[in-house]
Amino acid sequence: MSDRFPSLSDFGHDTWWLILVKCIAIFGFLVLTTLAAILIERKVMARMQQRLGPNRVGPHGLLQSLADGIKLALKEGITPFGVDKVVYLLAPIIAVVPAVMAFAVIPIGPLVSVGGHRTPLQLTDLPVGVLYVLAITSIGVYGIVLAGWSSGSTYPLLGGLRSTAQVISYEIAMGLSFAAVFLNSATMSTSEIVAAQSKHWYILLVLPSFVIYAIAMVGETNRAPFDLPEAEGELVGGFHTEYSSLKFAMFMLAEYINMVTVSALATTLFLGGWQAPWPISIADAANTGWWPVLWFVAKVWIFLFVFIWLRTTLPRLRYDQFMTMGWKVLIPVALGWILVVAVVREVTGGYREWIGVTTLAVAGIAVSALLFVGIWRLIRLPRSEIATEHDPVPFDPAAGGFPVPPLPGQVLPDTPVPERISGHTIRTQLALRTSKENSDA
């Protein structure tokens, strides 16, 4: 391995003050990136929607995010009557802390010299560093679930339940998208995955995994068009409806830090991490010293811009479309793609490297095309074709000892079963009604 790429043996030797400096630097980077992302998001959305963004506080509105943070911190914190106070207060903390901790294994740069010590620009690394990120980020959802449950209100509870189902569904697809990367790099260490991409980035080899991860990371962070746990049109404000002041700000901080974390993980796994893009990478100095930090931050901001772009342009999906896409499109395609990668690597293992790389790239383009076709057909389907095709079945809601709501395809005994009317019949009735109105006129 090149001297500029850290290995697992390079970690665990830093002095206490260097570890403290790294911790403060990571926390400062996440907070400053959050403040900048909020301001840039409002500016970019305003430009895309042909209106003015923040332009009052500070030069060209540059201090707007800082002013909003101070305002939220100084506002009166209102605790509704009937909440579980301990859990209610702990929920925002549980949401923020894992979001910050997940960044500990993200490689930001190569080996550098700091105060006379040779150290990697990464807090730490593990043989299973990617699994550590998955485990830590999955803990953050407990903050959302507990916030909805402890609020003692219906709409936050529904938002928390939605978030649980959403995270379970899309973490499976996200984890499966990592398997192809593990097969190619033969490691789960984040620093070693970056080193394995010194010849070609994995977005070229495992394109379907990148597409699946890109979709899953938007669902994991509850961002539009997948912000269903906080859909204001249905749930008022979702899981944080009953939160205000600093507690509400902590939920927003956790959301934006999670956006930075999943963007950094995508950069690490698929875009070569901190390595310079071609043709800049031709120069040896581009991947040494502190220059790689610039390439890493630029790649992270590309993903953050896509987050903003999606929020500005796409409408929110229906919940049945969203869950169906996770279980019936992303997960099956991810499983099939893992099989393809394993077979290609086994068949081309004894040949030259370029044969396996070319085969994987061509297969990835084909599978990605099939994935996009499946998603497009799913979104175009009306609700009646996604739901069950059987006639509604009456059921007893208290048969199990306590009342439960009906599942799809079930109705209460006293509910009249609606007559199924075809689209042709509706169009015919509308045409007859229109012709009658014209004749009366």
Tens-digit pLDDT string for the chain (441 aa): 456 788 888 888 888 899 999 999 999 999 999 999 999 999 999 999 888 888 888 888 889 988 988 888 888 888 888 888 889 889 999 999 998 999 999 999 898 888 888 889 899 999 999 999 988 988 888 888 888 888 888 888 888 888 888 888 888 899 999 999 999 888 999 999 999 998 889 998 899 999 999 999 998 888 878 887 777 666 777 788 888 888 888 988 998 999 999 999 999 999 998 999 888 888 888 888 889 999 999 999 999 999 999 988 888 887 778 888 888 889 999 999 999 998 888 888 755 667 778 888 888 899 999 998 888 887 776 655 544 445 666 777 777 666 676 766 677 766 554 454 445 555 566 666 666 666 665
Q: Residue 264: inside a domain, yes or no?
A: yes
Which residue range forms the structural domain that includes residue 213?
Answer: 8-384
For the chain, the domain total comes to: 1
34 vs 353: CA distance, rounded Å: 41
156 vs 88: CA distance, rounded Å: 12
Contact indicator for 11, 19 with CB cutoff of 8 Å: no
Q: Residue 424: inside a domain, yes or no?
A: no
Q: Residue 3: inside a domain, yes or no?
A: no
- 115 token code pair: 């105060």
* Dihedral over Cα of 371, 377, 380, 381: its sign: negative
Q: Residue 143: inside a domain, yes or no?
A: yes
Q: Residue 434: inside a domain, yes or no?
A: no
Single-letter code of the amino acid located at 58: G
Packed helices 129-150 and 245-270: angle between N→C axes, nearest 10 degrees: 160
Q: Residue 333: inside a domain, yes or no?
A: yes
Q: Residue 432: inside a domain, yes or no?
A: no
Q: Residue 436: inside a domain, yes or no?
A: no
269 vs 193: CA distance, rounded Å: 7
φ, ψ dihedrals at 11, nearest 5°: -100, 155
